Amino acid sequence: MDELRMANLEKLVREVDHFLSAVKDSGVLPVEDRDGSWKLRISEDHMSAWLETYPSVGRGAPLDAVKIIDAIEETGILHLDREKVRQIVERCNEGIETTGENALVASGTPPRNPVEGTVEFLVPFEKTRLIDENDERSVDWKKLWTIPTVHAGTAIARIHPPREGAAGLDIYGTSVPPPRPAPFRVRYGEGVIVSEENGVTEVLTARDLGQPVYRSGELDVLPVLVVEGDVNMLSGDIDFIGTVIVRGSVTAGFSVKAGRDAAVSGSVFNAFVEAAGNCIVEGGIVGEHCEIRAGEDIRAGFVEYGLLIAGENIEILGYTLFAALEARQSVLVQGKNRRGIIGGVTTAGTMIKALSAGSAMEPKTLLEAGRDAIRSRTIGELESKLNELEKMMKKIEMAMLSLRPATGAFDPQKLSEEIRGKLLLLAECHKKVESKKAELAMRIQDERRSMLAERKGSPVIKIRDRIHANVTVKIWESQVTVSLTESSGTYSFDRKTGTVQKGGF
């Protein structure tokens, strides 16, 4: 047994010698002794410092926490976390790496950000919808939307001015200034009274009955004209600088013009309504000679015939029947009571969305998206004026030729004072008309460029229920006419094929 054990030991010794000899022959270099080292990494803003440590190798000297602390503090860094340094050094000497936020040994005090100025609205400032578009119950056409109004003495807003921030300190004790608050300036219109609260906050109160508005940094209460009944022979036409609220209807042949918003509780029958802001008709818009124009949105219960032109959006809670709708942005016909766009022409810049299009009677119905109808109308009006100017220039030129002497040449010396004066006057008029003509031509060119620039988007036409036969869907220059009733879908323009394509709703 002893001989076997000795033989095994000798065999093990030979294996060890062979292994060591192989390692030596492989060219592996002996371990080089190296002292532990460290490096302090400082952020660009001097608000943070991290200690990077590297352990000793072989018989190299380990890191000394006291020496590292002294060396860091000699650089001028304040508020060094000495205990953190000791822990990092201890872990390093044990061969444990410390990284990330765990290696943070010094931090400055960041500056306190300023408090931005704000406007606290105490009353509604925007038109309010009173009907949920997803509610399928019967509709009360008299309670669609409302325009907010306030009485004299009502507090409408509080102005909280900005507050400066506080300076901070970096790791060297240098002051770090806070960012400046964003510019904050609120202008006040003549319809509000300004008072102070707590010596800092400004409170705005309505001076009279009116509509609270906040536009382009100005708070105001615009005057409101309330017509308690219908607009008819008793009231006459309405032309008001502020908001007009008609408690009744606008009857045939009369007009309402509002410098801000217009709201009609009843309907508009073959009448003209124009608002610089929004126009709300809680009832219907009825009649072939009915025209509604709004600089922003138009909202109505239903439309039968008539023309609607909106600078932004048109929203109809019910249906439209053989009407012309033009919106720079979108047209939404919710189709309460299961009817949508029936006949007529509907044009929108970005989107048309309706419950249905056309009807079983197959009336001719055109839905067009991707064209700014208002801009197109503007171009048409400018071109008409340009044609008038061209005709006027020809008249002026003919008049100048009629003053030419029988000799066929204009010689100022031989012309009478009267003829000379008329020629100079006609020449001046010709110059003015020519200048105006060039100006209009430039405007038309700019409008056309704007229309091309707006093609960056992707206009769509979305029908939730049915698209009946004889409905034409047009997007830009491409169009498709439905020959048989189809189910719901979304129409868009395929830029690869240059055609209108239908997809899922």
Q: Percent of the chain, pLDDT > 70? A: 87
Backbone angles phi, psi at 37, to 5 degrees: -140, 170
pLDDT of 358 higher than 90: yes
d(CA 308, CA 260): 17
Q: Where are the domains of the chain?
A: 37-107, 118-219, 241-374+457-503, 375-456
For 257, what's the count of Cα atoms within 13 Å in the CB-facing half-sphere?
5
Tell me what pLDDT residue 351 has. 95
pLDDT in tens, 45-100: 999 999 999 888 888 889 998 999 999 988 999 889 999 999 999 988 888 888 88
pLDDT of 140 higher than 50: no
DSSP line for 419-467: HHHHHHHHHHHHHHHHHHHHHHHHHHHHHHHHHHHGGGS--EEEEEEEE
Tell me what pLDDT residue 21 has. 60
Tell me what pLDDT residue 2 has. 64
pTM for the predicted model, two decimal places: 0.62
Contact at 8 Å (CB) between 91 and 103? no
Tell me what pLDDT residue 254 has. 96
pLDDT of 131 higher than 60: no
pLDDT in tens, 388-445: 989 988 888 888 887 776 666 666 667 778 877 888 888 888 889 899 989 999 998 8
